[in-house]
Amino acid sequence: MRILGIDPGLALTGWGMVKKGNEVKLLDYGCIKTSKNDQNHLRLLKIFKDLRKILTKFKPEVVVLEKLFFNTNAKTAILIGEGRGVVKICASLAKIPLYEFTPLQVKDSVVGYGRASKKQVQQMVKLLLKMDKIPKPDDAADALAVALTYCSFNKELI
């Protein structure tokens, strides 16, 4: 099963593609980057277009998205919410099931501790996917953690 994890954002939308068989294997990862000089609707359009290319290239069977946690900066929360909406639309148009996990669920699943640090999560992603180094940027590592969460969090989903 091919699983695409997404860490949504306006400036950077991290993505990570894994394949689950007898073990979980890394297929690819990266970030969709948008320019802060562009208007927000153009940035969202770029995320939409690039994500559609990723979906076409890798043909995931599931898309997994990190849920928005409470953010004290309302403007940032709204922009992330708009990015999440783009991801949901892309998955819906491609007729790919979408699942969501909170940051606490991701940390608990990947590290075994819901209050784990970002560095601990990144280190576990590296170990679980047998990578030589921690994936960069952080948004891509977070997206891989979300994909790994789907693989282990709720076995009856698979």
Catalytic positions, written as ranges? 7, 66, 139
7 annotated binding-site participant: yes
Asked if 125 contacts 110 with a C-beta cutoff of 8 angstroms, the reply is yes
Contact residues for 84 (Cβ-Cβ < 8 A; gap 6+): 8, 65, 68
139 annotated binding-site participant: yes
Inter-CA distances, 94 with 54, 65, 82, 117, Å: 11, 15, 19, 34
66 annotated binding-site participant: yes
Inter-CA distances, 128 with 69, 78, 110, Å: 25, 33, 9
Binding-site residue set = 7, 66, 139
Binding-site residue set for Mg(2+) = 7, 66, 139
